[in-house]
């Protein structure tokens, strides 16, 4: 089950049809520029962006590491860099 705070911040319906990176930007903007990998994993599964729950954590982590829009903040947590706009 999705943690309550993450569920209130972004509804999975808002993420449908987005790329993984675009969805993570939306999640970060709704959570004070922070993305917790476990919360994002649940949201992406519910939105249908990530199909396999077993590989969803790695998909989120890989996207955050490879993206030039996020920086490492803490274990399992990344921060959106300043000046990044949400992709529609």
User: Residues 35, 51: contact at Cβ < 8 Å?
Assistant: no
* CA pair distance 28, 63, nearest whole angstrom: 13
Lowest mean pLDDT among 8-12, 16-20, 77-81, 84-88: 84-88
Question: Which pLDDT value is given to residue 7?
Answer: 46
Q: Cβ distance 12 to 46 under 8 Å?
A: yes
pLDDT of residue 41: 95
| φ, ψ of residue 67 in degrees (nearest 5) | -75, 140
Backbone angles phi, psi at 16, to 5 degrees: -55, 135
pLDDT in tens, 33-79: 999 999 999 999 999 999 999 999 999 999 999 999 999 999 999 99
Beta-bridge partners for 80: 70
């Amino acid at each position: 089950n999705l943690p309550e705070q993450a569920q209130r911040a972004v509804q999975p319906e808002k993420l449908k049809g987005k790329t993984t990176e675009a969805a993570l930007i939306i999640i970060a903007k709704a959570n004070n520029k922070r993305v917790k990998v476990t919360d994002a994993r649940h949201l992406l599964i519910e939105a249908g962006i990530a199909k396999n729950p077993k590989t969803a954590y790695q998909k989120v982590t890989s996207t955050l590491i490879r993206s030039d829009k996020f920086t490492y903040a803490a274990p399992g947590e990344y921060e959106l860099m300043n000046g990044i706009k949400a992709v529609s």
